[in-house]
Amino acid sequence: MKADSRSECGRVRPPAQAGRFYPANPAQLRKEVSDYLAAAPRSTGPVPKALIAPHAGYMYSGPIAGSAYARLESGRDQIRRVVLVGPSHFARFHGVAASGMDAFETPLGRVPLDRAGIACAAGLPGVAISEDPHREEHSLEVHIPFLQVVLGEFELVPLLVGEATQSEMARLIEVLWGGPESCIVASTDLSHYHNYNTARQFDEATARAIEAFEGERLDGYDACGFQGVRGLLEVARDRGLECRAIDLRNSGDTAGSRSRVVGYGAFVLTAPGQ
Protein backbone atom coordinates (compact mmCIF):
# COMPACT_ATOMS: atom_id res chain seq x y z
CA MET A 1 0.00 0.00 0.00
CA LYS A 2 2.88 2.33 -0.61
CA ALA A 3 1.32 4.10 -3.54
CA ASP A 4 -1.42 6.69 -3.18
CA SER A 5 -4.83 5.36 -4.18
CA ARG A 6 -6.69 7.30 -6.84
CA SER A 7 -10.40 6.97 -7.61
CA GLU A 8 -13.44 8.96 -8.56
CA CYS A 9 -13.15 10.44 -5.06
CA GLY A 10 -9.66 11.78 -5.73
CA ARG A 11 -6.53 10.89 -3.83
CA VAL A 12 -7.20 8.48 -0.98
CA ARG A 13 -4.84 7.31 1.76
CA PRO A 14 -5.51 3.57 2.13
CA PRO A 15 -5.44 1.90 5.54
CA ALA A 16 -1.91 0.89 6.51
CA GLN A 17 -2.65 -0.93 9.77
CA ALA A 18 -5.89 -2.83 9.09
CA GLY A 19 -5.30 -6.45 10.04
CA ARG A 20 -2.54 -5.45 12.45
CA PHE A 21 -3.71 -2.83 14.95
CA TYR A 22 -7.39 -3.54 14.31
CA PRO A 23 -9.52 -5.96 12.24
CA ALA A 24 -9.46 -5.69 8.46
CA ASN A 25 -12.90 -7.26 8.07
CA PRO A 26 -15.52 -4.45 8.11
CA ALA A 27 -18.19 -6.40 10.00
CA GLN A 28 -15.71 -7.61 12.60
CA LEU A 29 -14.23 -4.13 12.96
CA ARG A 30 -17.62 -2.48 13.44
CA LYS A 31 -18.64 -5.09 16.02
CA GLU A 32 -15.37 -4.73 17.95
CA VAL A 33 -15.62 -0.95 18.09
CA SER A 34 -19.30 -1.12 19.02
CA ASP A 35 -18.50 -3.57 21.82
CA TYR A 36 -15.85 -1.23 23.25
CA LEU A 37 -18.32 1.64 23.16
CA ALA A 38 -21.08 -0.43 24.74
CA ALA A 39 -18.78 -1.49 27.59
CA ALA A 40 -17.91 2.12 28.47
CA PRO A 41 -19.76 3.88 31.29
CA ARG A 42 -22.71 5.91 30.03
CA SER A 43 -22.58 9.69 30.31
CA THR A 44 -25.45 12.16 30.38
CA GLY A 45 -23.07 15.13 30.24
CA PRO A 46 -22.46 17.51 27.37
CA VAL A 47 -20.58 16.68 24.20
CA PRO A 48 -16.85 17.16 24.90
CA LYS A 49 -15.01 19.83 22.94
CA ALA A 50 -11.86 17.71 22.99
CA LEU A 51 -10.60 14.25 23.88
CA ILE A 52 -7.25 12.70 24.69
CA ALA A 53 -7.25 9.02 23.76
CA PRO A 54 -4.75 6.19 23.06
CA HIS A 55 -3.57 4.69 19.79
CA ALA A 56 -2.26 1.17 20.40
CA GLY A 57 -3.63 -2.07 18.96
CA TYR A 58 -7.27 -2.48 19.86
CA MET A 59 -6.68 -5.57 22.05
CA TYR A 60 -4.53 -3.36 24.26
CA SER A 61 -6.02 0.15 24.19
CA GLY A 62 -9.44 -0.39 22.60
CA PRO A 63 -11.36 -0.45 25.90
CA ILE A 64 -9.79 2.84 26.99
CA ALA A 65 -10.42 4.46 23.61
CA GLY A 66 -14.00 3.24 23.91
CA SER A 67 -14.35 5.12 27.19
CA ALA A 68 -13.35 8.34 25.43
CA TYR A 69 -15.38 7.95 22.26
CA ALA A 70 -18.55 6.87 24.05
CA ARG A 71 -18.69 10.48 25.29
CA LEU A 72 -19.05 11.68 21.69
CA GLU A 73 -22.11 9.58 20.88
CA SER A 74 -24.50 12.38 21.83
CA GLY A 75 -22.66 14.64 19.37
CA ARG A 76 -23.49 12.55 16.30
CA ASP A 77 -25.78 15.25 14.90
CA GLN A 78 -23.53 18.11 16.00
CA ILE A 79 -19.91 17.28 15.22
CA ARG A 80 -19.05 17.66 11.55
CA ARG A 81 -15.28 18.06 11.75
CA VAL A 82 -12.57 16.33 13.80
CA VAL A 83 -9.08 17.75 14.18
CA LEU A 84 -6.93 14.70 14.91
CA VAL A 85 -3.39 15.33 16.20
CA GLY A 86 -0.88 12.58 16.88
CA PRO A 87 2.83 11.84 17.05
CA SER A 88 4.91 10.56 14.15
CA HIS A 89 6.49 7.23 15.09
CA PHE A 90 8.34 6.39 11.86
CA ALA A 91 9.34 9.68 10.23
CA ARG A 92 11.52 12.34 11.84
CA PHE A 93 10.90 15.92 10.82
CA HIS A 94 10.50 19.41 12.20
CA GLY A 95 7.03 20.84 12.51
CA VAL A 96 3.68 19.30 11.61
CA ALA A 97 2.70 17.23 8.56
CA ALA A 98 -0.77 17.82 7.17
CA SER A 99 -2.12 15.71 4.31
CA GLY A 100 -2.93 16.70 0.75
CA MET A 101 -5.19 13.70 0.24
CA ASP A 102 -8.88 14.03 -0.39
CA ALA A 103 -9.88 11.22 1.97
CA PHE A 104 -8.53 8.69 4.47
CA GLU A 105 -9.87 5.17 4.16
CA THR A 106 -10.48 2.38 6.67
CA PRO A 107 -12.36 -0.91 6.20
CA LEU A 108 -15.49 1.02 7.24
CA GLY A 109 -15.20 3.43 4.30
CA ARG A 110 -13.70 6.78 3.38
CA VAL A 111 -13.61 9.92 5.47
CA PRO A 112 -13.25 13.16 3.47
CA LEU A 113 -10.62 15.63 4.59
CA ASP A 114 -11.46 19.22 5.43
CA ARG A 115 -9.45 20.86 2.68
CA ALA A 116 -10.23 24.40 3.87
CA GLY A 117 -9.08 23.61 7.40
CA ILE A 118 -5.92 21.96 6.12
CA ALA A 119 -5.16 24.96 3.91
CA CYS A 120 -5.60 27.21 6.93
CA ALA A 121 -3.23 25.05 8.97
CA ALA A 122 -0.69 24.89 6.16
CA GLY A 123 -0.51 28.69 6.18
CA LEU A 124 1.14 28.59 9.60
CA PRO A 125 4.92 28.41 10.06
CA GLY A 126 6.12 24.87 10.58
CA VAL A 127 3.08 23.18 9.01
CA ALA A 128 3.62 21.50 5.65
CA ILE A 129 1.68 19.22 3.32
CA SER A 130 3.60 15.95 3.37
CA GLU A 131 2.28 12.44 2.69
CA ASP A 132 5.33 10.36 3.63
CA PRO A 133 4.87 10.66 7.43
CA HIS A 134 1.22 9.59 7.08
CA ARG A 135 1.81 6.58 4.85
CA GLU A 136 2.49 3.92 7.53
CA GLU A 137 1.55 5.84 10.68
CA HIS A 138 -0.94 4.31 13.12
CA SER A 139 -1.35 7.10 15.69
CA LEU A 140 -4.15 8.73 13.69
CA GLU A 141 -5.47 5.77 11.73
CA VAL A 142 -6.59 3.71 14.71
CA HIS A 143 -8.90 6.51 15.88
CA ILE A 144 -10.81 6.77 12.62
CA PRO A 145 -12.97 3.62 12.93
CA PHE A 146 -14.12 4.80 16.37
CA LEU A 147 -15.05 8.16 14.87
CA GLN A 148 -16.84 6.51 11.94
CA VAL A 149 -18.99 4.36 14.23
CA VAL A 150 -19.75 7.18 16.68
CA LEU A 151 -20.24 10.12 14.33
CA GLY A 152 -21.18 8.67 10.97
CA GLU A 153 -20.39 11.45 8.51
CA PHE A 154 -17.71 14.02 9.29
CA GLU A 155 -14.63 15.65 7.81
CA LEU A 156 -11.13 15.08 9.13
CA VAL A 157 -8.07 17.28 9.67
CA PRO A 158 -5.22 14.76 10.21
CA LEU A 159 -2.04 16.27 11.65
CA LEU A 160 1.14 14.37 12.48
CA VAL A 161 3.63 16.04 14.80
CA GLY A 162 7.38 15.70 14.38
CA GLU A 163 9.25 18.23 16.51
CA ALA A 164 7.21 21.25 17.54
CA THR A 165 7.06 23.57 20.53
CA GLN A 166 4.08 23.94 22.82
CA SER A 167 3.41 27.45 21.52
CA GLU A 168 3.50 26.24 17.92
CA MET A 169 1.03 23.46 18.69
CA ALA A 170 -1.21 25.79 20.66
CA ARG A 171 -1.34 28.28 17.80
CA LEU A 172 -2.23 25.50 15.34
CA ILE A 173 -5.00 24.11 17.54
CA GLU A 174 -6.35 27.60 18.24
CA VAL A 175 -6.61 28.31 14.51
CA LEU A 176 -8.55 25.06 13.98
CA TRP A 177 -10.64 25.25 17.18
CA GLY A 178 -13.91 26.15 15.46
CA GLY A 179 -17.30 26.01 17.15
CA PRO A 180 -19.55 23.19 18.40
CA GLU A 181 -19.27 21.52 15.00
CA SER A 182 -15.59 20.79 15.63
CA CYS A 183 -13.95 18.33 18.02
CA ILE A 184 -10.23 18.16 18.79
CA VAL A 185 -8.64 14.76 19.49
CA ALA A 186 -5.09 14.43 20.80
CA SER A 187 -3.72 10.93 20.26
CA THR A 188 -1.27 9.56 22.81
CA ASP A 189 -0.29 6.55 24.83
CA LEU A 190 1.25 7.09 28.26
CA SER A 191 4.27 5.41 29.90
CA HIS A 192 6.10 2.64 28.05
CA TYR A 193 7.60 -0.65 29.20
CA HIS A 194 7.64 -0.35 32.98
CA ASN A 195 6.30 -3.03 35.26
CA TYR A 196 2.63 -2.80 36.15
CA ASN A 197 2.90 -1.01 39.49
CA THR A 198 5.54 1.45 38.32
CA ALA A 199 3.48 2.27 35.24
CA ARG A 200 0.42 2.95 37.37
CA GLN A 201 2.36 5.41 39.52
CA PHE A 202 3.80 7.22 36.51
CA ASP A 203 0.49 7.34 34.65
CA GLU A 204 -1.40 8.63 37.67
CA ALA A 205 1.10 11.47 37.95
CA THR A 206 0.69 12.19 34.23
CA ALA A 207 -3.10 12.20 34.60
CA ARG A 208 -2.87 14.70 37.44
CA ALA A 209 -0.68 16.98 35.30
CA ILE A 210 -3.14 16.77 32.40
CA GLU A 211 -6.15 17.49 34.60
CA ALA A 212 -4.30 20.50 36.05
CA PHE A 213 -3.44 21.78 32.53
CA GLU A 214 0.26 21.50 33.34
CA GLY A 215 1.35 20.34 29.92
CA GLU A 216 4.81 21.76 30.39
CA ARG A 217 5.44 18.93 32.90
CA LEU A 218 5.03 16.30 30.19
CA ASP A 219 7.67 14.87 27.90
CA GLY A 220 8.10 11.79 25.75
CA TYR A 221 8.68 9.56 28.76
CA ASP A 222 5.22 10.45 30.08
CA ALA A 223 3.25 10.41 26.82
CA CYS A 224 4.47 9.77 23.27
CA GLY A 225 1.99 12.36 21.95
CA PHE A 226 2.99 14.95 24.54
CA GLN A 227 3.49 17.73 21.98
CA GLY A 228 -0.11 17.63 20.77
CA VAL A 229 -1.37 17.23 24.33
CA ARG A 230 0.65 20.25 25.48
CA GLY A 231 -0.80 22.44 22.73
CA LEU A 232 -4.35 21.26 23.41
CA LEU A 233 -4.04 21.88 27.13
CA GLU A 234 -2.71 25.41 26.63
CA VAL A 235 -5.63 26.40 24.40
CA ALA A 236 -8.19 24.64 26.58
CA ARG A 237 -6.83 26.31 29.72
CA ASP A 238 -6.92 29.74 28.09
CA ARG A 239 -10.51 29.11 27.01
CA GLY A 240 -11.55 28.05 30.50
CA LEU A 241 -12.31 24.40 29.80
CA GLU A 242 -12.25 21.66 32.41
CA CYS A 243 -10.37 18.39 31.97
CA ARG A 244 -11.11 15.07 33.61
CA ALA A 245 -9.57 11.60 33.35
CA ILE A 246 -12.34 9.06 32.82
CA ASP A 247 -10.23 5.93 32.28
CA LEU A 248 -6.65 5.10 33.22
CA ARG A 249 -5.42 1.58 32.55
CA ASN A 250 -2.51 -0.19 30.90
CA SER A 251 -1.86 -3.25 28.78
CA GLY A 252 -1.52 -5.32 31.96
CA ASP A 253 -5.22 -4.63 32.57
CA THR A 254 -6.37 -5.43 29.04
CA ALA A 255 -3.97 -7.94 27.43
CA GLY A 256 -0.51 -9.30 27.99
CA SER A 257 2.02 -9.56 30.78
CA ARG A 258 2.27 -7.15 33.70
CA SER A 259 6.05 -7.22 33.64
CA ARG A 260 6.36 -4.72 30.77
CA VAL A 261 3.30 -2.61 30.03
CA VAL A 262 2.16 0.46 28.11
CA GLY A 263 -0.15 2.98 29.76
CA TYR A 264 -3.36 4.40 28.30
CA GLY A 265 -5.63 7.23 29.39
CA ALA A 266 -8.95 8.69 28.27
CA PHE A 267 -9.60 12.36 29.07
CA VAL A 268 -12.53 14.64 28.26
CA LEU A 269 -12.37 18.42 28.00
CA THR A 270 -15.60 20.36 28.44
CA ALA A 271 -16.89 23.85 29.11
CA PRO A 272 -16.88 24.90 32.79
CA GLY A 273 -19.49 23.26 34.97
CA GLN A 274 -20.61 20.82 32.32
Q: Encode pLDDT of 24-80 as tens digits.
A: 999 999 999 999 999 998 877 899 999 999 999 999 999 999 999 999 999 999 999
The predicted structure's pLDDT at residue 3? 37
Write the CB contacts of 258 (distance below 8 Å, at least 6 apart in sequence): 195, 196, 252
pLDDT reported for residue 273: 58
- Tell me the pLDDT band of 4, cut-offs 50, 70 and 90: very low
pLDDT band at 2 (very low <50, low <70, confident <90, very high): very low
Residue 204 confidence (pLDDT) above 60: yes
In this prediction, residue 44 carries a pLDDT of 76
- Work out the end-to-end distance of the chain between its first and last CA atoms, rounded to an integer number of angstroms: 44
Chain segment 114-172, per-residue pLDDT in tens: 999 999 999 999 999 999 999 999 999 999 999 999 999 999 999 999 999 999 999 99
pTM of the model: 0.95
> Whole-number mean pLDDT of the chain?
95
Q: What is the pLDDT at residue 104?
A: 98
pLDDT at residue 9, rounded to an integer: 53
The pLDDT score that the predictor gives to residue 43 is 79
Query: Which residues 6+ apart lie within 8 Å of 129 measured at CB?
Result: 97, 98, 99, 100, 118, 122
Q: What is residue 224's predicted lDDT score, i.e. its pLDDT?
A: 98
Sheet arrangement for strand 5-7:
5-7, 10-13, 103-106, 109-112
Q: Which CATH superfamily is domain 5-270 in?
A: LigB-like (3.40.830.10)
Give the span between the Cα atoms of 216 and 229, in whole angstroms. 10
Nearest to 114 by CA among 81, 151, 140, 142: 81
**Distance, CA of 252 to chain centre:** 21
**How is the chain split into domains, by residue range?**
5-270
Q: What sign results for the dihedral spanned by CA atoms 119, 120, 122, 127?
A: negative
Are residues 21 and 60 in contact, defined by beta-carbon separation less than 8 angstroms? Answer: no
Residue 85 has pLDDT above 80, yes or no: yes
pLDDT, residue 7, reads: 45
